[in-house]
Every structure is written in C-alpha cells, then in structure tokens.
C-alpha cells in the first residue's frame, strides 16, 4: 500500500478504474465557512491518491473530470457532506455515486451506529483509528499520521460496498438504495442552497 500526495490536482493520465472511493477533509463541518483541504481517492488496489487543496483554490480539472465522469462510480461514506464540499469548492457535481452510510441505514436497522469505524468492525473485521479526525487539515505540511488516517477512510470502501450489496439484495432493498444514491447529489445542492435541516417532503 502506498499513499501518493499531490498538490492542487490529480496528475495527468491517472486512471483509478471504474469504481473510485472518495473522502474529503475540511476545516470544519460548515461548507460555506470551512474550506476544503484534502481529497483522498482509491481505486480499490490498496493505493491512495491524495490531493492537497490550497486556500482559495477554485479549480482542479483532473479531479473534477473524475467526479463528473458518468462511467466512474464514486464511493463515499456519508457522501452528502463530501459532495457538497467539493461542489462548493469547484462547482463540479459528483455523479454517479454510492454511499455506504445510506446502505447501512437501509439494512442495519438493528443499530443506530452507522459510522465508518463501526461498519468496518462489524462487516470486515477491520479496526481503523480515528485519532487524527480532529486535526488541522489546513496545515501546509501534513504528517504521516494524517495521511494514513485520510487513506483509511477510502481503502476499505470497495470491500464494504460488496458486503452491503449482499445484504441489500437479501432484504430486497437494492432498488430503493439506488434511488437514494441517485438523489444524493441533489440533496447536497439543497444543503448548500439553504435547506440543510428542513425536510422538504414533510407536510
């Protein structure tokens, strides 16, 4: 396994295959206030490609090409936040997508623990550290611990998707899950447009 760190954008000609796991690190949880700092990606081969985003950066052509490629499925855990963060930063709306958190909520109805750490422990027997979660991702130089933490958020999403899909098929909920994934980019746009908490489907 190797972590490949880039400044500002993915390198020209990099292909990570038809299914790419993606996660973001930001300065906080308010996309209008807290800037995007890092985008980490993996094609499921054990390697991660990590892009460090500069303050004020508004373009990343190679990264955005992956985000918007209709032939590349993007895997997220809680994609709603990451999609909004990258759309806010670059104006590129990610699609098509798959969200392991949505899948978990549809088939692991016996628990309210849908965090990535819980999912990986139960479904893959993998224990990841969240020690660096509260970290200064805006720093000019990132530590090895930060990079390893960032990588851990994408390295297992391909295997996790396979396990979740098995249960979605078993419980007959694959179609409703797909419909949720398809709506997720629009949900992220609604968040940015001022409807982050209101249920517009409520009476």
- Residue-range domains of the chain with CATH: 3-193 (3.30.420.10)
Are the beta carbons of 40 and 22 closer than 8 angstroms?
yes
Please give the pLDDT value at position 1: 77
Question: What is the mean pLDDT of the segment spanning 190-195?
Answer: 96
From 110, 90, 105, select the one nearest 184 (Cα to Cα).
105
Please give the pLDDT value at position 135: 86
Please give the pLDDT value at position 185: 98
% of the chain beyond a pLDDT of 90: 95
Taking 70 as the threshold, does the pLDDT of residue 56 lie above it? Answer: yes
Taking 80 as the threshold, does the pLDDT of residue 130 lie above it? Answer: no
Contacts of residue 180, Cβ cutoff 8 Å, sequence gap at least 6: 99, 102, 106
Question: What is the mean pLDDT of the segment spanning 170-181?
Answer: 98
d(CA 100, CA 164): 7
Please give the pLDDT value at position 42: 98
Please give the pLDDT value at position 129: 76
From 162, 157, 159, 188, select the one nearest 174 (Cα to Cα).
162
Mean pLDDT of the chain: 96
User: Which helix (DSSP H) or strand (DSSP E) does residue 5 occupy?
Assistant: strand 3-7
Question: What is the mean pLDDT of the segment spanning 130-159?
Answer: 90
% of the chain beyond a pLDDT of 70: 99
User: Which helix (DSSP H) or strand (DSSP E) does residue 179 occupy?
Assistant: helix 174-193
Helix 174-193 to helix 100-107 angle, to the nearest 10 degrees? 130
This prediction's pTM: 0.95
């Amino acid at each position: 396994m190797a972590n490949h760190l880039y400044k500002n954008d993915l390198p020209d000609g990099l292909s990570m295959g038809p299914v790419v796991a993606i996660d973001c690190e930001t300065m906080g949880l308010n996309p209008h206030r807290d800037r995007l700092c890092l985008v980490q990606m993996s094609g499921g081969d054990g390697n991660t490609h990590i892009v460090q985003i500069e303050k004020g950066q508004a373009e990343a052509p190679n990264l955005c090409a992956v985000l918007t490629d209709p032939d590349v499925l993007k895997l997220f855990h809680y994609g709603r936040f990451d999609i909004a963060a990258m759309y806010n930063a670059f104006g590129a709306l990610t699609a098509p997508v798959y969200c392991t958190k949505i899948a978990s909520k549809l088939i692991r109805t016996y628990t309210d623990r849908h965090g990535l750490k819980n999912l990986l422990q139960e479904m893959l027997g993998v224990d990841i550290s969240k020690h660096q979660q509260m970290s200064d991702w805006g720093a000019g130089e990132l530590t090895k611990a930060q990079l390893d933490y960032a990588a851990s958020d994408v390295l297992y999403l391909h295997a996790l998707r396979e396990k979740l899909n098995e249960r979605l098929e078993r419980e007959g909920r694959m179609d409703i899950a797909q419909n949720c994934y398809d709506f997720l980019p629009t949900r992220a746009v609604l968040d940015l447009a001022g409807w982050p908490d209101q249920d517009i489907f409520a009476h």
